[in-house]
Structure formats: structure tokens, C-alpha cells
Structure 1
Amino acid sequence: MSTQEIEPLDVERIREDFPILARKVGGDVTVPGEGPGDDTPLVYLDNAATSQTPEQVVEVIADYYRSYNANVHRGIHSLSQEASVAYEEAHDRVAEFVGADGREEIIFTKNTTEAMNTVAYAWGLAELGPGDEVILTEMEHHASLVTWQQIGKKTGADVRYVRVDENGRLDMDHARELVTDDTRMVSAVHVSNTLGTVNPVEELADLAHDHGALIFVDGAQSVPNRPVDVTELDADFFAFSGHKMCGPTGVGVLYGKRRLLEEMQPYLYGGEMIRKVTYEDATWEDLPWKFEAGTPVICQGIALAAACDYLDEIGLERIQAHEEGLAEYAYDRLREYDDVEIYGPPGDDRGGLVAFNLDGVHAHDLSSILNDYGVAIRAGDHCTQPLHDKLGVAASARASFYLYNTRAEVDTLVEAVDAARDLFA
């Protein structure tokens, strides 16, 4: 389906589900005619860090604590039974949402970072050794880069990086040079949280599998805003976070192919994940519970399933078209200025975010000024310090969009950038 055929979102109706968007904010700019004050409407453009949560999901959280708050799989009383069923069904719902083959392939973690570490420690420490290779990209989030870097140090495996070209795209010719029969794991971000680049993860999966390697896809910036089917991607592992997709904080997801998860040994031990324990040894529960040690993220997991319902009801194709349209519009507006440098591919070839810098203004200062105008963006290295080093900048400002943002909010962003320019002139 082309973008032209996709029904646009009713953004004003959607915004009613997010009361926080009606907040008034602002900074110290209070002089009439010189800028907004504390009654400035919030323009929330930090969605790549954390999205807002709709009332429908908040109500699910409240209902859990009001009605059936109990631990799971540990009691025969009614509340425990109700919580256990809801928690297990949440795994089923998330599996359906990303095209997994059942709850056994869905591990609830506390975020994408923990999902990465689960594979790195449970698989990497056991499988990697000197002479093995792990292939990453230069645009990896620290959750991937640092994790595999440190596993490489522990195991002696070599960690190498696929280049990013001058347009912010992955150099696939370089990828084909790096991935060899010594490669054991390819780990790649699906959508870059700095460049907005949408990586060809299907092609990377084919390349990895042709050499007998596995692929881990970081889907933190893709699952919230586009249809993702892990089976079609042929990902061996895939991770994402609830708080970027209208869900609560404190819950993430690790998808793994069942045969791989069955072969892996857990690296967190304790209650919930055991079947039998003696003073000499222990055996593990079935999937997915053997990787969910201790009291799990019960309420968060149930609420994540509700977030999946919410996004599916609106339509991921529509969300993707809307978000990418806003990013293209922001790219075009900012590109009108010679003193603004934008990072990543062209506006019609990126996910829903734009990272940029204004000449002569540090990204942190720019973010502070934008805050005075009610505009919330991210400023810093976005957990991609090596990529920023490659770009030759210490930090960048990042505006990231979601289903409830509007073109008028992009205009407010640009007006605030204009004000920053005038202030530092």
C-alpha cells in the first residue's frame, strides 16, 4: 500500500487519549512580545526517548493494582490465578504483535538493554571465543555496542563495525566484506535513534545466515511505529521496549527463536525460573519463564499488551506514514537554513526523527531555549557517542515524532530555533 492510499490519522482525536499533551509549560521567557511564559502549550518531540501513555493503558495499570494485584505462578488463590492468566496472555498478545510463534519466544525484560544483555551473557559467553567475530554497525546504540564490546573482551572474540557512509546509510559492500565464516553474531539497529536511517535488516539477516551466523535486531525505534514481523525478517533475536510504544516504563521484550532459547542457559537465577532445586543442583522452568527470574514485570507486561491493542487499533501503517511525514516536513523546514546541519539520510528516506545542530549553539543550550518555548527535544549524544565522534560533533539536538504530533508543532520547533539563532547572533 502506498503512502497516498493510507488513511491519515485523526490526530486531534488521538490527542484526547493523552491528557499530558494539554499541559502548559515554558521557561523564563516572560516579557511580552519576547516569547512565551509558563502558560505555553507543551510540544512533546522526545518520543524516541520515551513516548507518552494513553488513558487506555493507564486504566489497565490502575485496574491491575485496584483489582487483582498479586504475584504470578506462586499461589492458588483467586488474585494470583487472575494475575497469572493475564500475565501469560500478555506474552501471547506481544507474540502476535510482532509475528512470533507463541509465548515461548517472548521473554519479558525491563528494557531493550536488558534483552541485549540476556543474549550476550546467556549465549555470548557460552558460544564465543578467540577467532570468533561479532559484527555491529557504527550507528549502534550503546545498549548494543557496549554490551558486545565487553563480551568481546571477556571471550576474546573480535568486534568489528560496518561503516556508515556520508549520507548516513549503512555501507552494505563493507558489510559483505566484514561478515565471514568466522562471524558468529551480527547485531544491528533496525532504525537509528540518531540518524533516522532504516537499515536493511532482512538483507543483513540473509548475509549472516549465509555464513552460519546469527542476527540480533535492535527494534527499539521500529516496533513502536511500523509493522514488524520477526518471522518475515528471519531475526534470530529481536528486542524492544514498552515505554517507546505507548506502554509503561520497566518492561522490554526479547524475542528469540525457540530452538535457540531452548539451547541457551539462563544467566539470572532465583525464584520463578526453576523447576526443581536440591542442595546440589537445579533444573529450569519451560520457556519463557526460565529467563524471567524473580518476581517478573507483571503489571508492566499486562499494560504492554494493552499498548499493543491500542497501536493495532489505530494501525501501524498509518502511524508509520504519519510519523515519517512529520520527519520529512521537519527536515525540509530545517534545511531552509544554511546554519543548520542535519544528520542522516534525506527527509523522504528516514524514520520519524531529525537530529541536527545550529551553528554556534551547543545542543544543550538549544534544548534549554526550546524548552522556554514549550518544545521538548533530546540534546546530547543519544547513547551513540562513537557515531557522534565520527560525525565530528560532541552532541546534537533531536526532534522525534509520534502518532499525536502535528505539523503545527513542527512549525513551533522551527520558530523556537529561529529564536535561538537571534539570541546567539
Structure 2
Amino acid sequence: MKNAPIRVLVIIAIVSLIGIIGTQVYWLNRAIEQQDQVFNHNVQVALRNVVESLCEANGKDFPTVNPIEQVSGNYFIVRTNDRIDITNLEYLISAEIKKRAISQDFEYGVYDCANDQMVYADNVSLKNQANSPAIPVLQNEEYYFGVYFPEKAKNLFAGFDLWKFTTLITLVVIGFFGYALFVILRQKRLSEVQRDFINNVSHELKTPLATLALASTTLHERSAEKDNKYLTIINNEVARLHKNVEDILEASFIESKRPIQKAPLQLDQFLNTLTEGFKSEYASKLISWDLTGEANRAIFSNEKLLEKCIRNLVDNAIKYGGKHIKIAFSQDQNQTVISVADDGPGIPKEHLKKIFKKFYRVPESQHQHNQKGFGLGLHIVKSAVQNLGGKVGVESKIDVGSTFKIILNG
């Protein structure tokens, strides 16, 4: 499942590129075909005019059957079957071709109708016309000629500078896409390696932390009163380190997008039990608690994940100086809202949109003192609530406090 977005991105990109390339190739072929048809038509019109001029010079009528035959893409046979003045023929072909804006060099040959043997051939450069060698005078009465354009294909492609440019752009896009895909897959692999490393380290830390906690508790029970304060410090630090490890594991689990088991949950009983636990847990901090609300139905959720969200919000409120914590809940036909409000220093407005980002911590200021932690608590809340199909929001005023709301569907 976690690879699905990348697969969708790759498929969409590949289909888009194939579509772009396919469309470009299609229109390029169409353009070349049209250019080829225009060229062939112009050549045939030019050769027809040449035949008319030859017939007029010989005092003959234009043949009733079309004398022009295109043997191949760039070779034309003109069956005049009459006398041919080679000097006049070369002039006429060059003149007619130039009239139709054809600037391609050509070759022509004159054939004897009696045996189909070539009696004369020459190549003509329209850009740099040189003096032809001695031209023979043909004695027979019936000849035909052929015209060949050796660089027709090359010249057809030469006129597509725009297409060349767009092809270059397409190749650049393909190259960029290939590089971007390489970077994405590499970053994904590195992210997976990093996540596995963090999970392994976190799991490896849990066992020695549990051992330390057990040993510290045992020593606390057996030690003299003067040593208790040091053991208390050890206990507190072990607890804090244990919480950090749990946060890392929790964040990793939530981001793995694994399926979440949901079950019916009586919201009022759940929050009442949770609040009583908070009162006991934070008894030494002299926190006042309020729980208000009325639930008219059970919700379909994951109790452990929802408890983690509320606990993180409460921990966060107390960590930043809140002395009065108010937990409220309400339900209507479409949604359930759980809010955790405190009377702490508040969060500056410019940080409200960033506090749910992973590892983000509000900078220390006159209103906000720096606190220890990884910046994972609120990120876990947002990710967990999204996995439960809901959303989380926050309202805060400096020197008044903050209110976090968990909004669940149903």
C-alpha cells in the first residue's frame, strides 16, 4: 500500500510521456506526408509544363495519356516519346522547378525509346549552376527522360525546425523524469533504511531502559533516604527516555499506514477513565481538571490510538505550563468533537500551521520557553487522527491558552 502513490505517479508520468511522444510522432508523420504530397504535386505540375513546352517546340499535341509516372518517392519518368533537345530540356526542368519554390538539386537522364538505354545524364545544382560538358545532339526521333531528386528525404526533414525543437524539449523532459524517478526511488529506499534503523535502535533501547527502571525501583526501596533524590532523578530520566523511545516507535508505526482495528467505544466512559488516570499521574503538579460533555452514542474507533492522541495533547499542555486542563466532548449527527484546552502561554500565530509537522518545535521566545523533546508529539496526533478518518485543529491566543480539537466522523 505504501508504494501505491509512487506507482501511480510513475504510471501517470509514463502514460503522459507516451501520449506526448505518440502525438508528436503522429503529427510529424502527418506533416511529412503533406510535405511529400505537396512536393510530388509540384514536381508533376512542373514536368507537365516541361512536356507542354517540348511538344510545342516539336509542333506536337500534348499526349492523351498522362506521360508522367512516379516510379519511386524521388524518381519520375516522363514518356514524351519524341525528339528531345537536351540543352532545352535542362533549361525547362530547372526553370519550372524554380517557379514552384523547389530548391533541391536533381539529376536527369535521357533514354532511347527503342532499347531503353540511357543516352545522356547530368546532375544539376540549382544553387551553383556550372557549365555543363559538351551536350550531344540526339539523332533519333523518340526519346523519354527521367528526373531524380537524391536529397528529397533530407530536404523534407530540413523544414521541420520547430519539430526538432519540440523533440529536444521532449527528450529533456524524459531525461528529467528519469532523473526525478531515480532520486525519488533512492530517497524512498534511504527513508526505509532510516526508518528501519530507528525502529531497531528504539527496540534495542527499550530492554535496557526497562532493566534500568526495575533496578532503580529496587534500589529506591532499599536505599537510605539521602540517596532517594538521586534515584528519583534516575527514575524521571528513565521515564523521559522511555517516552521518547515510545514516541519514535509510535510515529514509525503510524507512518507505516498499517490497517487499524476499530471497535465501538463509549466516549463518555472512555474519557472519564482517562481523566481520572491523568489526575493520578499528574497529582504532584497541582493541575486542575475539568471534563465536560455528553455522548449520545458510541463511536467506532481505535481506543489505544485515540488515547495516545489525547495523552499527547495533555502532556503537551502541561509541558508548556498549563495549570488548568479542560477536556470537552460533543456529538451531533455527523461528527464527534473532542477538545483539550489549557491556560498556558499560547502559541504565536505564525507557528500554528507548522506545529503538526514532524520534528517541528516552536522557537524559544518571551512567551514560549524551550522544552526538551523531538517535536513528534503533535505530529503523531495529526497522523493518528487522519488514520482514524478525522482531522485536528488548533486555536491559540498569547497569554490566554490553546485549544486543540479532534474531529472524528460519525
Question: Shorter chain as normaliser: what TM range?
Answer: under 0.3
Greater RCO, 1 or 2 (C-alpha within 8 Å, sep 6+) = 1
Structure with higher Rg: it is 2
The structure with the greater share of residues assigned to helix is 2
When the two structures are superposed, what TM-score results if normalisation uses the length of structure 2?
0.21
